[in-house]
Amino acid sequence: MNDPVLDISGLTVDFGGVPAVRGVDLHLGRGEVLGLVGESGSGKSVTALAAMGLLPAAAHVGGSVRLDGAELVGAGDKALSRVRGNRVAMVFQDPLSAFTPVYRIGDQIVEAIRTHQDLSREKAAARAVELLDLVGIPEPRLRAAAFPHEFSGGMRQRAMIAMAVANNPDVLLADEPTTALDVTVQAQILDVLRTARRETGAALLLVSHDLGVIAGMADRVAVMYAGRIVETAPVDALFAAPRMPYTLGLIGAVPRLDADAEGRLEPLVPIPGAPPAPGALPPGCAFAPRCPLAEDRCRETEPLLTAAGRAGKATHPAGAADPAHLAACVRAEEVGALRPLDVFPVPGTDGALRKAGPGGGRPVADDVLRVTDLARTFPLLKGAIVKRRVGSVHAVDGVDLDIRAGEVLGLVGESGSGKSTTLFEILELRPPERGSVEVLGRSVEGLTRRDARALRAGVQIVFQDPMASLDPRLPVGDIVAEPLRAQHADRALVARRVPELLRRVGLEPAHADRFPHEFSGGQRQRIGIARALAVDPRLLILDEPVSALDVSVQAGILNLLLRLRAELGLAYLFVSHDLSVVRHVADRVGVMYLGRTVETGAVAEVFARPLHPYTQALLSAVPLPDPVRERARTRILLPGDPPSPTSRPSGCPFRSRCQVFAALDPGRKERCTTQAPALAPQGGDHTAACHFPAERAVL
């Protein structure tokens, strides 16, 4: 720490007078991994881009960024271009748009090499192939000639890392490097980042909103809020005893895959309100308006980042101030001894926010949804004028689901596994291509229009993107009233229901006249939920309802869903790629791979004793927001990407990536290659589609 390779001090960035970064100090030691955490709009990405001088011309950058003592702020484009990609390299978030679409991957890496090294084209090309090999791209020589669109998201991110380390940089900046990726691919990419660091010895500034990723990667962590660092500490100390209420809230708001010692789940702790708009910061501490511990002095002056006195818990001997643990809070000493629930009140904590206990068993009730062997294929067309069918996409190829009244089924799977297609097939209320769908006890076979409309009121959906799914030109009251009007409800009923619904989801009835853009992301999702509840459905289909939201807001929505379910006796089909969220919300879970259900059962059972190798890999890939446990885990890393759903392999579709299959003897392998395993009972309510199911600890 005496000799930071990258030394950011007093960094400020504003866009046309609106501050985005307000005095950030960060010191990155040689070979160190510093995690920079914050929610969207906190200024973490802007900080990283400012360090490389990559902000648009409209940004006004002040303060100092020194690389080995050389000042980068205010340096000219020419001087910066000698540093970028050479001594400081960057890995961006969205690997699809980060490569120039018209150049081959290999050529783009060659360009990065030859910009800084005096190498012949042939030698640089050979080096590019080596780099692609290093980051685990199969057949690197062949793949170097591919264009970016021919790579999957994970492969592109690998190539991006290969390009970043091409010139052995001293510092790597990774801006949300795994955010757009599936969890098993995320695990691969984090592994590649570790390899890249081992090879180059570079220091890493890892920018992420995901506390789990940070916990597993970082040596030290800095937490950003409203353009400032509000807490920084070694990773263990930060997670064990955060001293800034915001950090505490953030940790409490993250749903966790692992239960506590008694197998119970803590209720999630939502942080009230929303981060301040950058142009309208409150006087004093920017977090004060959301902080239950705020006092008058918090609202007067903004606290400085200082070493907080004694640590509350046993991480340090009582009385010793840890010089590496800084917090910008006047009550930091007290906070260190508190748990999230002590600070942030959770409305209705008693019972309602906890699901039925693990031993509770399934409710004795009617099915609200029963799907058996559902399939849906899409034609693959080719030709400019006359389209001809050249193949099929087997989007859904054998899905079984059943949900009883008042039950929550979590449907998990990675992108392309057919989750959304399954939902839309159910919502069509029309006979499926194959298999059967029963909604509220009625088969969708032979429904008349009138029946279908009546049935539609019983099943409603909440969409992923709360902005795109609300008509921007309709006032919120009309949006919520729309399903009622579709069911021909009379005016009096609409006038009575709308305020009631808004209140139910935690919004002011007086806001019915406002338009969607006047609400924050979390509030918009509440509007979406109110709309879905308007016609008193018995089953709510939730399509990734919290994945577009920041973690502190997400917790509030999840709690709302749990409360509504307890109050209204709703059943949910909860689709998510986030297993921790499903763990928190669902009673039962269905795991999908390549359009098929591969494992089902009670959440507690499946997450504690996953039997299908895919479920095991999926669970093992989810990072825990707990550095100590995270370091102790061994990961099952799946090789490669899921195969294309256009080809339907014989036998088990998972075997190409299966860790169990790889270890089988040839005689037993035979069974996997020829027979597709059916979903078979594995004791009680637990089913798995695997010929060789075996328990394996993954958490």
Name the strand (E) or helix (H) holding 521. helix 521-533
Candidate residues 149, 473, 488, 517; the one interacting with other proteins per rule CB under 8 A: 149
Answer for which of 15, 147, 378, 424 binds other proteins (CB under 8 A) is: 147
Task: Name the residue nearer to other proteins (CB basis): 83 or 557.
Answer: 83
Residues of this chain, 157-196, that bind other proteins according to CB under 8 A: 160, 163, 166-167
384: Cβ contacts below 8 Å, ≥ 6 apart: none
Q: How far is the CB of 208 from other proteins (least distance, A)?
A: 18
Question: Which of 192, 542 has the CB closer to other proteins?
Answer: 192
Beta strand 367-382 with 203-208: parallel, antiparallel or unpaired?
A: unpaired
From the CB of 43, what's the least distance to other proteins, in Å?
18
Q: Counting contacts by CB under 8 A, is residue 455 touching other proteins?
A: no
- Residue 52 interacts with other proteins (CB under 8 A)? yes
In whole angstroms, give the CA distance from residue 518 to residue 506: 16
- Tell me the backbone φ, ψ of residue 25, rounded to 5 degrees: -115, 125
Q: Which is nearer to other proteins, 172 or 447 (CB)?
A: 172
- The nearest distance, CB 73 to other proteins, in angstroms, is 16
Residue 101 or 323: which CB sits closer to other proteins?
Answer: 101
Closest distance between other proteins and the C-beta of residue 5, in Å?
18
Task: Report yes or no: 112 and 87 within 8 Å, Cβ to Cβ.
Answer: no
Looking only at residues 116 through 145 of this chain, which bind other proteins when binding is defined by CB under 8 A?
116
Q: Residue 89 or 539: which CB sits closer to other proteins?
A: 89
Cβ distance to other proteins smaller for residue 98 or 608 = 98
Q: Rg of the Cα trace of the chain?
A: 26
The length of the chain is 699
Residue from 34, 99, 124, 460 that binds other proteins (CB under 8 A)? 99
Contact 93, 175 (CB under 8 A): yes
> Which tokens sit at 53?
């001088």
Q: Is there a contact between 563 and 353 (Cβ–Cβ < 8 Å)?
A: yes
Cβ-Cβ contacts under 8 Å for 352 (sequence gap 6 or more)? 562, 563, 566, 567
Candidate residues 68, 111, 258, 685; the one interacting with other proteins per rule CB under 8 A: 111
Q: Toward other proteins, which CB reaches closer, 159 or 658?
A: 159
Q: Which is nearer to other proteins, 82 or 121 (CB)?
A: 82
Strand 203-208 and strand 33-37: the pairing is parallel
List Cα–Cα distances, 114 to 125, 196, 389, 563, in angstroms.
Answer: 10, 20, 45, 59
Return the range that interacts with other proteins (CB under 8 A); candidates 59-67, 98-106, 124-132, 575-583. Answer: 98-106
Residue 615, classed as helix, strand or coil, is helix
Does residue 100 touch other proteins according to CB under 8 A? yes
Rounded Cα–Cα distance for residues 39 and 552 (Å)? 8
Distance in angstroms (rounded) separating the CA atoms of residues 329 and 571: 43
Stretch that binds other proteins, among 59-67, 89-97, 225-233, 538-546 (CB under 8 A): 89-97
Is residue 611 within 8 Å of residue 686, measured between CB atoms?
yes
Contacts of 665 (CB under 8 A, 6+ apart): none
Q: Report the distance separating Cα 329 and Cα 298, nearest Å.
A: 8
Nearer Cβ to other proteins (100/443): 100
Give me the least distance between CB of 160 and other proteins, in Å please. Answer: 8
Looking at 9, 29, 64, 94, which residue binds other proteins (CB under 8 A)?
94
86 binds other proteins (CB under 8 A): yes
- Minimum distance between the CB of residue 438 and other proteins, rounded to whole angstroms? 43
Q: Which residue type sits at 236?
A: D
| H-type alpha helices, 596-675 | 603-608, 613-621, 627-632, 659-662, 666-674
By beta-carbon proximity to other proteins, the closer residue of 54 and 489 is: 54
Q: How far is the CB of 335 from other proteins (least distance, A)?
A: 38
Q: Which of 46, 65, 89, 288 binds other proteins (CB under 8 A)?
A: 89
Which secondary structure element, helix H or strand E, spans residue 199, and what is its range?
A: helix 183-200
Contact range with other proteins by CB under 8 A, out of 102-110, 247-255, 341-349, 647-655: 102-110
Q: How far is the CB of 147 from other proteins (least distance, A)?
A: 5
387 counts as binding other proteins under rule CB under 8 A? no
| Nearest distance, CB of residue 25 and other proteins, angstroms | 23
CB 179 within 8 A of CB 211: no
Strand partners, 203: 171
What is the b/e burial string over 96-117, where b = at least 16 CB atoms within 10 angstroms of the residue's CB?
eebbeeeebbbbbbbbbbbebe
What residues does 379 pair with on adjacent strands? 392
Contact yes or no for 412/587 (Cβ under 8 A): no
Beta-strand relationship, 33-37 and 220-225: parallel
Q: Does 105 bind other proteins (CB under 8 A)?
A: no
# residues contacting other proteins (CB under 8 A): 32
Query: Which region, judged by CB under 8 A, interacts with other proteins, from 87-95, 406-414, 440-448, 587-595?
Result: 87-95
Contact (CB, 8 A) for 618 and 625: no
Q: Which of 15, 23, 30, 54 binds other proteins (CB under 8 A)?
A: 54
| In the complex, least distance from residue 210 CB atom to other proteins, rounded to whole angstroms | 20
Assess 115 for contact with other proteins (CB under 8 A).
yes
Judged by CB under 8 A, the residue of 22, 44, 84, 156 near other proteins is 84
Strand-strand pairing, 539-543 and 459-462: parallel
Q: Does 156 help bind other proteins (rule: CB under 8 A)?
A: no
CA-nearest of 53, 40, 60, 39 to 8 is: 53
What is the smallest separation between the CB atom of 40 and other proteins, expressed in angstroms?
A: 17
16 lies in the site for other proteins, by CB under 8 A: no
Q: Which spans of this chain sit near other proteins (rule: CB under 8 A)?
A: 52, 54, 77-78, 81-86, 89-90, 92, 94, 97-104, 111-112, 115-116, 147, 149, 160, 163, 166-167
